[in-house]
C-alpha cells in the first residue's frame, strides 16, 4: 500500500513535470514566433522607409539637377555670346591687319618705283653732265666764244630741256595719281587727320561727365557690364571709364548724340537708379526733350536774324549747328555772323537784306548732317535746301560759298565774302592775329621764292594760295612741276591745320593800242 502510494505520487510528480515542461516549451515557441513576426514586420517597415527615403532623395536630386542645368544653360548662353563677340572682334582685327599689310605693300611698291625713277633721273643727269662737258670741249676748240660764254649757252639750253623733262614726268605722275583717285583721296584724308591738332580733335569728339565719387563707376558699368552696354546701344556713343578720378568720358563723332548721352548720364547719376530699363527710359525722354530744345534754338536764331517761314526740319537742323564746331568756331554763331554781315553788305549795295540774311543763315546748313551723309557740306546743304523748296538764290549761295560751283548772283558772292570775314577774323578760329598774319605772309613768301612767279595771293583764310607765273619763263608743262615743288616746300617748312589748295595760273595777254 505504501509502495503503491509512493509510486502514485512519484508518477504524479513525473506527469506534472512533463506537463510543465511541455507548457514551457510551447510558451517559448510562441514567444519565439512572436519575436520573429515582430522582427519581420520591423524589417518590412525599415525597407519601406528606406525605399521612401530613396525616392525622396532621387526627387530632390532631380530638382537640384534641373536647377543646376538651368543656371548652366544661362551661363553657357552668355559665354557663347561673349565668345561670338570675341571671335567677331578677332576677325575685324585680322581684316584690319590684312588691310594694313596690303597698304604697307602698296607703299613699299610705290617707294621702289619712286626710287627707280629717281635713279633714272640721276643717271640721265649724269649723262647730261657728261654730254655738256664733251660739247663744251668741242665748242671751245671750234668756236670763237669764250669758255664762260659757251658754258652759259650750254647750261641754259640743257637746263630748259631738263625742266621740260621734269615737268613731263611730274605731269605723268599726276595723271597716274588721278587714275588711282580713291587711294590718293584716302592718303590725303589721312594726312589731313595727322595734321589736325590732337586737342581740337579730342575737344570736338569727347565730353567729360563729372561724378560725385568713384563708387558710382561700378554702378554705371553694372553686373557683367550690362548697364554700360545698354547705355552705349541706346545712345550710339562710347562710354570710356578709366582711372580718371570722379569722371567718365563720352566719345562720339556725332555731337548731338554725344550731348544727349551726356545729359542722360548726368540724370542717371543724379537719380541713382541705374539699370537697363531705367537707362532706356531716361535716354528716350532726353531725346524727346532735346528735339524740342533744338527747335527752340533754331526758332530763336531765326527770330533774332529776322528770317521767317522756314521749314520745321530746317529749324531743327539750325539748332543742331549749336553742337557743331569748325576749327573751334561754333557753327551756329558762325552762321549768325554770316547772316548779319550779308544783311549789312546787301543793304549797302542796294540788294534785299532779308533775302541776304536768309542765304547767310542757311549757307552752312549742311554741316548739321555732314558726318552722316557723304559729300562736302556745301553740296549737302544745297541738296537740303532744294528738298525743302528754298529759293534758287539761297541754294546757289550755299552751294558756291567755297567756290565748288560757279556763283550766279551777287548774293552768292556776298556769301563767299561774309563767310571769309567770319572765319578769318582774329579769335574766330583759335588763332591770334599775329599768328594768322604770319601764316599768310609765310604762304605768300614761299610761293614767291620760286623763279618765274610773278605774284601770289593767300585766300580763304589761308586754306588756298593762288600763284600767278610769268608766261615767258614757265611753260604750260612747267606749272605742274611748280605746283608740286610749292606743295613740297609748304609741307616741309610750315605747320597748318587741314590742307592747303595750291592753284598755279599761267595766262598770256596780248595788249596793243589803236592810235
pLDDT at 497: 62
pLDDT at 468: 92
Residue 111 cell numbers, joined: 617707294
pLDDT at 185: 47
CB 415 within 8 A of CB 393: no
Burial (CB count <10 Å: 0-12, 13-18, 19+), residue 238: middle
Return contacts of 136-144, CB within 8 angstroms, 24+ apart. none
pLDDT at 174: 65
CA distance linking residue 267 with residue 322, whole number of Å: 21
DSSP-derived secondary structure letter, 214: T
Domain boundaries, the chain: 1-112, 198-302, 311-424, 433-505
Query: Could you list the pLDDT tens digit for every one of the 515 residues in the chain?
Result: 788 888 888 877 887 788 877 878 888 888 888 888 888 888 888 888 888 888 888 888 888 888 888 888 888 888 888 888 898 888 888 888 888 888 888 888 888 888 888 888 888 888 888 887 777 776 666 555 566 665 666 566 656 656 666 666 666 666 666 666 556 544 543 443 343 333 333 345 677 788 888 778 888 888 888 888 888 888 888 888 877 777 888 887 777 788 888 888 888 888 888 888 888 888 888 888 888 888 888 888 888 888 888 888 888 888 888 877 766 677 888 888 888 888 888 888 888 888 888 888 888 888 888 777 777 888 888 888 888 888 898 888 888 887 778 888 888 888 888 887 777 654 445 445 566 678 888 889 999 999 889 999 988 767 789 999 988 888 887 888 888 889 889 888 887 766 788 999 988 777 777 87
Hey, what CATH class is 311-424 in?
Answer: mainly alpha
Q: Kindly provide the b/e burial profile for residues 6-39, where b requires at least 16 CB atoms within 10 angstroms of the residue's own CB.
A: eeeeeeeeeeeeeeeeeeeeeeeeeeeeeeeeee
**Is the alpha carbon torsion for 291, 296, 299, 305 positive or negative?**
negative
Write out the H or E segment, with its range, that includes residue 82: helix 2-142
CA distance linking residue 251 with residue 201, whole number of Å: 11
CATH superfamily of this structure's domain 198-302: K Homology domain, type 1 (3.30.1370.10)
pLDDT at 208: 79
Burial (CB count <10 Å: 0-12, 13-18, 19+), residue 202: exposed
Is the domain covering 433-505 a CATH 3.30.70.1290 domain?
Answer: no
Q: What stretches of 272-373 show up as alpha helix (H) in DSSP?
A: 276-305, 312-320, 331-348, 353-362
CA distance linking residue 478 with residue 378, whole number of Å: 33
pLDDT at 295: 84
CB 315 within 8 A of CB 265: no
Residue with cell 633721273: 121
Length of the chain equals 515
Pairing of strands 464-469, 501-505: parallel
Amino acid at each position: 500500500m505504501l509502495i503503491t502510494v509512493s509510486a502514485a505520487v512519484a508518477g504524479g510528480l513525473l506527469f506534472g513535470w512533463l506537463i510543465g515542461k511541455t507548457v514551457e516549451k510551447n510558451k517559448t515557441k510562441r514567444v519565439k514566433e512572436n519575436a520573429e513576426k515582430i522582427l519581420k514586420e520591423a524589417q518590412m517597415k525599415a525597407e519601406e522607409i528606406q525605399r521612401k527615403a530613396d525616392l525622396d532623395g532621387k526627387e530632390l536630386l532631380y530638382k537640384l539637377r534641373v536647377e543646376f542645368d538651368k543656371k548652366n544653360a544661362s551661363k553657357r548662353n552668355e559665354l557663347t555670346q561673349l565668345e561670338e563677340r570675341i571671335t567677331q572682334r578677332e576677325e575685324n582685327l585680322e581684316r584690319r591687319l590684312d588691310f594694313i599689310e596690303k597698304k604697307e605693300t602698296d607703299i613699299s611698291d610705290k617707294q621702289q618705283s619712286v626710287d627707280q625713277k629717281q635713279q633714272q633721273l640721276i643717271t640721265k643727269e649724269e649723262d647730261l653732265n657728261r654730254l655738256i662737258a664733251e660739247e663744251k670741249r668741242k665748242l671751245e676748240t671750234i668756236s670763237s666764244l669764250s669758255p664762260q660764254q659757251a658754258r652759259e649757252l650750254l647750261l641754259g639750253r640743257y637746263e630748259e630741256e631738263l625742266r621740260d623733262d621734269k615737268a613731263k614726268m611730274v605731269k605723268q605722275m599726276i595723271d597716274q595719281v588721278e587714275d588711282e583717285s580713291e587711294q590718293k583721296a584716302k592718303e590725303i584724308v589721312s594726312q589731313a587727320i595727322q595734321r589736325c591738332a590732337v586737342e581740337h580733335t579730342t575737344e570736338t569728339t569727347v565730353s567729360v561727365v563729372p561724378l560725385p565719387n568713384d563708387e558710382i563707376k561700378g554702378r554705371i558699368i553694372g553686373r557683367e557690364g550690362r548697364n554700360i552696354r545698354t547705355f552705349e546701344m541706346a545712345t550710339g556713343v562710347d562710354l570710356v571709364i578709366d582711372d580718371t578720378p570722379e569722371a567718365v568720358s563720352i566719345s562720339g563723332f556725332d555731337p548731338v548724340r554725344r550731348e544727349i548721352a551726356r545729359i542722360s548720364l548726368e540724370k542717371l547719376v543724379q537719380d541713382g537708379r541705374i539699370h537697363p530699363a531705367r537707362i532706356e527710359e531716361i535716354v528716350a525722354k532726353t531725346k524727346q526733350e532735346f528735339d524740342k530744345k533744338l527747335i527752340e534754338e533754331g526758332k530763336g536764331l531765326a527770330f533774332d536774324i529776322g528770317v521767317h517761314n522756314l521749314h520745321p526740319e530746317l529749324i531743327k537742323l539750325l539748332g543742331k549747328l549749336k553742337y557743331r564746331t569748325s576749327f573751334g568756331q561754333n557753327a551756329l554763331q558762325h552762321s549768325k555772323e554770316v547772316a548779319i554781315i550779308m544783311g549789312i553788305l546787301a543793304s549797302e549795295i542796294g540788294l534785299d537784306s532779308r533775302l541776304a540774311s536768309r542765304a547767310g543763315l542757311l549757307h552752312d546748313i549742311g554741316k548739321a548732317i555732314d558726318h552722316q551723309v557723304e559729300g562736302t557740306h556745301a553740296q549737302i546743304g544745297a541738296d537740303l535746301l532744294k528738298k525743302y523748296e528754298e529759293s534758287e538764290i539761297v541754294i546757289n549761295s550755299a552751294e558756291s560759298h567755297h567756290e565748288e560751283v560757279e556763283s550766279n548772283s551777287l548774293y552768292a558772292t556776298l556769301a563767299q565774302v561774309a563767310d571769309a570775314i567770319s572765319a578769318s577774323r582774329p579769335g574766330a578760329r583759335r588763332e591770334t592775329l599775329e599768328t594768322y598774319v604770319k601764316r599768310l605772309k609765310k604762304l605768300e613768301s614761299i610761293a614767291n621764292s620760286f623763279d618765274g612767279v610773278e605774284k601770289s595771293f593767300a585766300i580763304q583764310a589761308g586754306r588756298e594760295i593762288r600763284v600767278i607765273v610769268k608766261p615767258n619763263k614757265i611753260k604750260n608743262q612747267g606749272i605742274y612741276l611748280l605746283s608740286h615743288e610749292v606743295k613740297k616746300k609748304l609741307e616741309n617748312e610750315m605747320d597748318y591745320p587741314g590742307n592747303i589748295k595750291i592753284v598755279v595760273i599761267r595766262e598770256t595777254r596780248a595788249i596793243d593800242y589803236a592810235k
